[in-house]
């Protein structure tokens, strides 16, 4: 029987344990605080992009045919009627700048969707320009200078006094592609490009990653060659992503001549980047299967291939799927490798296939962040919030799948 520890030593050890727990709790609180500040700042900056200022105008739809109508003139005449005292050409030009350049396309879409509008007169809410939108949101103030004159601010105030200025949910941000005009710019083109790129990446990387993990873990002999392969796979998982972009530029574009700025090439580059992660996660999932499962299957006469396909793989597949989702989430936020293969181009049209020109959400955020207009600052933060939402959803899906399919022995 040993003597009890001296009271002073016991007290000091317990005090050290309390300090350690306190340090750990403080670290978690600091990390959560930093994350909350980051998310709060992004949401505060990006939230105004989800609403857009609209002007209510009485539009006279006296058009003969959609392809013959001058919808730009229709929108401008409706705005001029609100201010009959504005007669000078220069003042009319400034007044017209309160409307977005996309207002004419709004009118055209309305006439195409509802041909009965022709020959009628109706109050229509049209998107305001980015400067008018920023003034209505309080980002441009009187006497502070800027691109709006005092007369334009007065006209906006007069329209607001008549109830002809409203903030409405900005559906354009979610349904359109990129644009030079901030009020008409949206993320749908970049989101579609991201979905197509990730689809190509997963279709290539997941089967190859699972097959490679199965071979290395279950069938490959233990020799210097397999040891070198394992070392190189672990090293490739830590290689900077821009190196894979240089590889894609040299091989896929310059050597094979594949289309530049296409989701097909972007998906192949991201597949190369995520393949080591999927292989490592797949091998870890296979190693987690107890050896007794293999021994029992072999004991009842199953072949090595049957043991792997019928017993080991179904048990390890949830872990493999989780690794693939985590790898895809990392690839979704990558920008550098896609910049190297030309996916930084200005793309307005929505891509419909993997060979169409496209961009992705991280690159779209990069492009908007480099734009000088104040309205693009809001859209940059809003697009970042949407991208973070996608990443959080993918990580939650990975955790949910693991908890749902995971088996404990």
pLDDT digits (tens, 9 = 90+) for 374-399: 889 899 999 999 998 888 888 888 77
CATH of the domain at 372: 1.10.3720.10
Residue 81 falls within a domain, yes or no? Answer: yes
Tell whether 236 and 262 lie within a shared domain.
yes
Listed residues 142, 170, 198: the one ending a domain: 170
Whether 11 is covered by a domain: the verdict is no
Residue 19 falls within a domain, yes or no? no
Q: Are residues 145 and 280 in the same domain?
A: no
Same domain, yes or no: 221 and 368: yes
**Does the pLDDT of residue 56 top 90, yes or no?**
yes
Q: Which domain holds residue 150?
A: 48-170
Note whether 198 and 303 are same-domain residues.
yes
pLDDT at 158: 92
Residues in Cβ contact with 394 at an 8 Å cutoff, skipping those fewer than 6 apart: 325, 326, 328, 329, 332
Structural domains counted in the chain: 2
For residue 22, being part of any structural domain is answered with: no
pLDDT higher than threshold 70 for residue 156: yes
Model pTM? 0.85
> pLDDT grade, residue 146 (50/70/90)?
low
Domain stops at, among 170, 201, 218: 170
Domain termination residue (choose one: 144, 170, 196): 170
The CA distances from residue 49 to 184, 303, 333, 379, in Å, are 11, 60, 21, 5
Alpha-carbon gap, residue 210 to 313, rounded angstroms: 9
Which pair of structure tokens corresponds to residue 311? 């017993």
216, 109: one domain = no
Percentage of the chain beyond pLDDT 90 is 36
Neighbours of 220 (CB within 10 A): 14
Taking a C-beta distance cutoff of 8 angstroms, is the pair 309, 315 a contact? no
pLDDT at 211: 93
**Helix 103-113 with 71-82: angle, nearest 10 deg:** 110
**The pLDDT value given to residue 1:** 47
Domain assignment present for 7: no
Predicted confidence at residue 145, as pLDDT, reads: 59
215 and 332 share one domain = yes
- Do 267 and 348 sit in the same domain of this protein? yes
Q: Is residue 247 part of a domain?
A: yes
The residue-averaged pLDDT of 303-307 equals: 88
Report yes or no on 39 lying in a domain: no
State the pLDDT at residue 297. Answer: 87
Q: What is the mean pLDDT of residues 310-327?
A: 86
State percent of the chain over pLDDT 70.
95
Q: Report d(CA 304, CA 238) in Å as an integer.
A: 33
Question: Is the same domain home to 153 and 192?
Answer: no
pLDDT tens per residue, range 182-224: 989 999 999 999 999 999 999 999 999 999 999 999 888 888 8
Closest CA to 210 of 297, 289, 277: 277
The verdict on residue 254 lying in a domain is yes
Crossing angle of helices 188-214/361-369, nearest 10°?
A: 140
> Across residues 251-267, what is the average pLDDT?
90
> Do residues 165 and 269 share a domain?
no
Name residues whose C-beta falls within 8 Å of residue 2's C-beta, 6 or more positions apart in sequence. Answer: none
* Strand ranges (E), 260-307: none
What does pLDDT average to over the chain?
87
């Amino acid at each position: 029987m040993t003597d009890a520890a001296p009271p002073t030593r016991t007290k000091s050890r317990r005090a050290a344990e309390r300090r350690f727990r306190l340090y750990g709790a403080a670290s978690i609180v600091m990390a959560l605080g930093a994350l909350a500040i980051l998310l709060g700042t992004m949401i505060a900056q990006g939230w105004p992009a989800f609403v857009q200022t609209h002007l209510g105008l009485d539009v006279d739809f006296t058009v003969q045919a959609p392809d013959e109508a001058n919808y730009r003139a229709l929108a401008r005449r409706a705005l001029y009627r609100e201010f009959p005292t504005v007669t000078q050409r220069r003042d009319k030009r400034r007044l017209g700048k309160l409307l977005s350049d996309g207002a004419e396309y709004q009118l055209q879409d309305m006439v195409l969707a509802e041909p009965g509008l022709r020959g009628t007169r109706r109050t229509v809410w049209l998107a305001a320009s980015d400067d008018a939108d920023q003034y209505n949101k309080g980002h441009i103030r009187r006497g502070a200078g800027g691109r709006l004159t005092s007369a334009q601010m007065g006209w906006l105030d007069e329209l607001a006094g008549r109830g002809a200025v409203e903030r409405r949910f900005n559906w354009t941000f979610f349904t359109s592609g990129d644009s030079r005009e901030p009020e008409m710019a949206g993320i749908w083109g970049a989101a579609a490009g991201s979905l197509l790129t990730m689809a190509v990446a997963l279709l290539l990387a997941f089967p190859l990653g699972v097959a490679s993990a199965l071979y290395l873990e279950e069938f490959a002999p233990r020799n210097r060659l397999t040891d070198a392969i394992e070392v190189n796979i672990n090293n490739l998982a830590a290689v900077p992503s821009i190196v894979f972009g240089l590889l894609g530029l040299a091989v896929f574009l310059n050597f094979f001549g594949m289309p530049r700025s296409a989701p097909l090439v972007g998906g192949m580059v991201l597949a190369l980047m995520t393949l080591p992660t999927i292989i490592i996660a797949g091998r870890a999932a296979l190693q987690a299967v107890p050896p007794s499962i293999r021994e029992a299957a072999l004991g009842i006469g199953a072949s090595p291939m049957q043991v792997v396909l019928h017993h080991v793989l179904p048990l390890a597949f949830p872990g493999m799927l989780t690794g693939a989702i985590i790898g895809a989430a990392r690839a979704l936020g990558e920008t550098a490798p896609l910049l190297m293969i030309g996916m930084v181009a200005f793309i307005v049209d929505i891509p419909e296939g993997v060979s169409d020109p496209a961009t992705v959400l991280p690159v779209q955020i990069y492009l908007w962040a480099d734009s000088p207009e104040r309205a693009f600052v809001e859209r940059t933060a809003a697009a970042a919030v949407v991208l973070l939402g996608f990443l959080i959803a993918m990580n939650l899906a990975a955790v949910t799948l693991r908890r749902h399919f995971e088996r404990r022995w």
